[in-house]
Amino acid sequence: MSSSTTSAKTSATTSAAAPKLSMTQVLICGAMVVTLSMGIRHGFGLWLQPITMDRGWTRETFALAIALQNLAWGIAGPFAGGLADRFGAFRVLIVGGLLYAAGLVSMGLATSGLAFMGSAGLLLGMAQSGTTYAIVYGVIGRNVAADKRSWAMGVTAAAGSFGQFLMVPVENWLIGSFGWQEALFALGCLSLAILPLALGLKEPAQTAAKGTHQSVGAALREAFAYPSFQLLMAGYFVCGFQVVFIGVHMPSYLKDQGLTPNVATTALALIGLFNVFGTYAAGTLGARLQKRYILSAIYFLRAIVITVFLLLPLTPMSVYVFAAAMGLLWLSTIPPTNAVIAQIFGVQYLSMLGGFVFLSHQIGSFLGVWLGGRLYDMTGSYNIVWWIAVALGIFAGIVNLPVREQAIVRAAPAAA
Amino acid sequence: MKLRPTLAWTAVGAVLGVVFAAYLRPELALTLATQLWNCF
């Protein structure tokens, strides 16, 4: 292949610079960053009662701040990803770690609802956009060989899942032992650990391979005009809808059905436990199978698992089996979705494109929470939303099948 | 030569088991069930 003529073509995968960091270093630092960033945020619900009681706020104030956080996380994602692709992931991770610490401390100090929205909502949302999967996956994409990329993304996603699983009891212990405000300050200090870890992800100055450089605008136009990118975004939208609808409304559903809070907690623990294995397995399988089949299978299986759960008599055991099965499928979409984006478009703008797909996920999340509540208020039952989740699962299973995984072929620019 | 992966997976299993057990403590169960799910 030559880059010396305008008619020459170049594959997206060739735009990756030669690996510069060791895979072990990238995996250890990346996994620890994601463990912290995903773990710390996961237990925020534990602060609902102590903060609202101490500050005299309504639950709505707290819930609105968390909703704002999720929205800010999604909207800031493409920008954080673009900055990471342009200026280096480690810089974005350092800013993200500082924002995380500032957000947690100011969350503890906020005495008005507005200040709480700014800290727990905006600051922490932006912090998450700069410290989670899309940013770390950019480093993995540029430094891990293509045949091990999906596996490496699976390892990192499993670390994030483990962080979620681990930090809930840890945060509960911190609040119980030191008080809710001190617990936030302690987590603020802990989040600063992202800074030294970011240095472990500092890549040597990257220069795109000659003849393969692409502008941000061209990358965006290319991705959004490419049907497979749209299909991946549609699938990720469904992922967000299903996971967050179940996450938020499941306890109310179980309570309505007469089950005890213990059943809901055990279900939560089972989801967390099996989520670790599911994300790792999805990444590992992605190194051997076509990722579109893995994604399609995950969404079809979700639809089947929810259908069986709804049709069988509801018992604690059926809830546990459902939680374990959904746990396996919970965040398992993350490694294959990001790995296939890297495979199609290359790694130059992997964090930015991953950020856009994640924005679609967050819009689905928002709709899952909102529609769950809205339709419950209208009908007095979650049945309609459960069946919408099933229908969306089938839809996502179908739309992932025609995804083209081959690297996109671009015309190489003329030689100087 | 399969000792290292076996040990690693055993350690992973043990850590996950300990964390899982933490969720099942009765005093934690009610708190989690009523509060945590609010902010997934």
Spatial neighbors of B25 by CB under 8 A, at least 6 apart, are none
* Ordered structural domains, chain A, with CATH: 21-199 (1.20.1250.20), 216-407 (1.20.1250.20)
Contact criterion met (CB < 8 Å) for B40 and A251: no
Confidence of residue A380 (pLDDT cuts 50, 70, 90): confident
Contact criterion met (CB < 8 Å) for B33 and A162: no
Contact criterion met (CB < 8 Å) for A244 and B37: no
**Cβ neighbours around A22 below 10 Å, total:** 12
Q: Which helix (H) or strand (E) holds A232?
A: helix A227-256
Taking residues A342-369, report their average pLDDT. Answer: 93
Let me know how long chain A is.
416
Angle between helices A146-178 and A334-345 (to 10 degrees): 140
Contact list in A for residue B30 (CB cut-off 8 A) is: 261-262, 265
Which residues are registered as beta bridge partners of A9?
A: A411
Contact criterion met (CB < 8 Å) for A45 and B40: yes
Smallest Cβ–Cβ distance between B37 and the set A243, A268, A276 belongs to A268
Taking residues A117-136, report their average pLDDT. Answer: 95
C-alpha distance from A43 to closest chain B C-alpha (Å): 6
pTM check: above 0.80 = yes
Question: Of the candidates A79, A23, A80, A26, which has an alpha carbon nearest to the alpha carbon of residue A199?
Answer: A26
Does ipTM come in above 0.85? no
Tell me how far apart the terminal alpha carbons of chain B are, to the nearest angstrom.
42
Which residues are registered as beta bridge partners of A411?
A: A9
pLDDT digits (tens, 9 = 90+) for A12-71: 554 445 557 899 999 999 999 999 999 998 888 888 888 988 999 887 888 888 888 989
- The reply to whether B21 touches chain A by the CB within 8 Å rule is no
Q: For residue A409, which phi and psi values (nearest 5 degrees)? A: -105, 125
Q: Provide the b/e sequence for A231-261 (b: ≥16 CB within 10 Å).
A: bbbbbbbbbbbbbbbbbbbbbbbbeeeebeb
Contact criterion met (CB < 8 Å) for B33 and A268: yes
DSSP state of A92: H
pLDDT digits (tens, 9 = 90+) for A296-320: 999 999 999 999 999 999 999 999 9
Q: Which residue has the tokens 């856009």?
A: A356
Confidence of residue A180 (pLDDT cuts 50, 70, 90): very high
Contact list in A for residue B34 (CB cut-off 8 A) is: 49, 251, 261
